[in-house]
Amino acid sequence: MPTASPEAGTGGIAGRLARLIAMGGPIPLSLFMAEANAHYYATRDPFGAGGDFVTAPEISQMFGEMVGLALAELWVRAGRPEGARYVELGPGRGTLAADALRAMRAAGLTPPVELVETSPALRAAQATRVPQARWHGEVGELPGDGPLLVVANEFFDALPVTQHVRGERGWHARLVDHREGGFVSVLNDAPTPGIAVEAEAGAVIERCLSGDAVMRELASRVARQGGVIVAIDYGYVGPAIGDTLQAVRGHGFADPLADPGEQDITAHVDFTALADAARAEGLRVTGPVGQGAWLESLGIGARAAALSRAAASRAEEIAAARLRLTGEDAMGRLFKVLAAVAPGWPAPEGFGS
């Protein structure tokens, strides 16, 4: 992992992390990532052409509409249970929620909206698009009554990960130190006990313990209250070996240790770990499947055709957006969809037989 820029650590969140290291020594990578991302999201709207990256809901309204229709269709087949709530984790600007809710209304579902968001800047943006929403700082604050229709789009990838590197004596935790040149990656001298993964020297394994915990808490709620969790993110079917930590700034890749709090740090999602966490609380899991296959199965092609007929001048733009969302060399394969449903609820559409 590279060294951060020389100016890192002069003030703000960088200075705070540098002082923390100076007092107690190198800190876990997960702590560095958590602190950096908390500051990053709390202080800006990073989405869109003027930000650092573009997510699927910002590419086209079709993405949110397919999500909303999938949730509404499942709710109908579950018997239209009363009190169902739309829940979104890390809802960005509120674009996905607005599009999904519009599609839900067309299917006869107008649920209360519960958004789990800590960023003041993003809450303000969400309020302009979903003014009826209620905001929560964590999953534990969600209402305890009624089924939960939960969406987590590009949420789990931003949660902090641990990394361990294989050495001669075992697996050593990756830490972050601060030296004259900035923040650097170092390894804990003592190997971490209890890791039984076989791999060559230098191999890296990642784990998102906070993601597992969030999924288990959500799944426990859904098991009691009814509903579904739909997680959409870039990731893999684990377990896997490899370092997937990355940072994005200005629509380009950056050093994850440089300028903490000024760029988005993420890691690929282990969908097997999420599935295991949901199953541990009694949910039935389907997927993951590629985002492209999921959207096509739900009818994005028909929706694109309808939008093109209604606005012929935008037909090329609509086709390009569909390809970006579903193409194998775009978001269609790397991004995956996993669903976990409550006991007694039907299997969701879009995941094949």
Instruction: Compute the average pLDDT of residues 216-243.
Output: 97
pLDDT at 8: 39
3-state secondary structure the chain: CCCCCCCCCCCHHHHHHHHHHHHHCCEEHHHHHHHHHHHHHHCCCCECCCCCECCHHHHCHHHHHHHHHHHHHHHHHCCCCCCCEEEEECCCCCHHHHHHHHHHHHCCCCCCEEEECCCHHHHHHHHHHCCCCEEECCHHHCCCCCCEEEEEECCHHHCCCEEEEEECCEEEEEEEEEECCEEEEEECCCCCCCCCCCCCCCCEEEECHHHHHHHHHHHHHHHHHCEEEEEEEEEECCCCCCCCCEEEECCEEECCCCCCCCCEEECCEEHHHHHHHHHHCCCEEEEEEEHHHHHHHHCHHHHHHHHHHHCHHHHHHHHHHHHHHHCCCCCCCCEEEEEEECCCCCCCCCCCC
- Does the pLDDT at position 4 exceed 60? no
Q: Average per-residue pLDDT in the chain?
A: 95
Report pLDDT digits (tens) over 43-92: 999 998 788 889 999 999 999 999 999 999 999 999 999 999 999 999 99
pLDDT at 333: 96
- Does the pLDDT at position 3 exceed 50? no
Please state, for a pLDDT cut of 90, what percent of the chain lies above it: 93
Domain ranges in the chain?
27-152+208-341
pLDDT at 235: 97
Question: In this predicted structure, which of 3-17, 61-75, 226-240, 331-345 has the lowest mean pLDDT?
Answer: 3-17
Instruction: Compute the average pLDDT of residues 154-165.
Output: 98
- Does the pLDDT at position 33 exceed 70? yes
- Does the pLDDT at position 254 exceed 70? yes
Q: How confident is the model at residue 352 (pLDDT cuts 50, 70, 90)?
A: confident
- Does the pLDDT at position 1 exceed 80? no
pLDDT at 11: 58
CATH code 3.40.50.620 for 27-152+208-341: no
pLDDT at 2: 41
Q: How confident is the model at residue 181 (pLDDT cuts 50, 70, 90)?
A: confident
- Does the pLDDT at position 171 exceed 50? yes
pLDDT at 236: 97
Report pLDDT digits (tens) over 110-156: 999 999 999 999 999 999 999 999 999 999 999 999 999 999 999 99
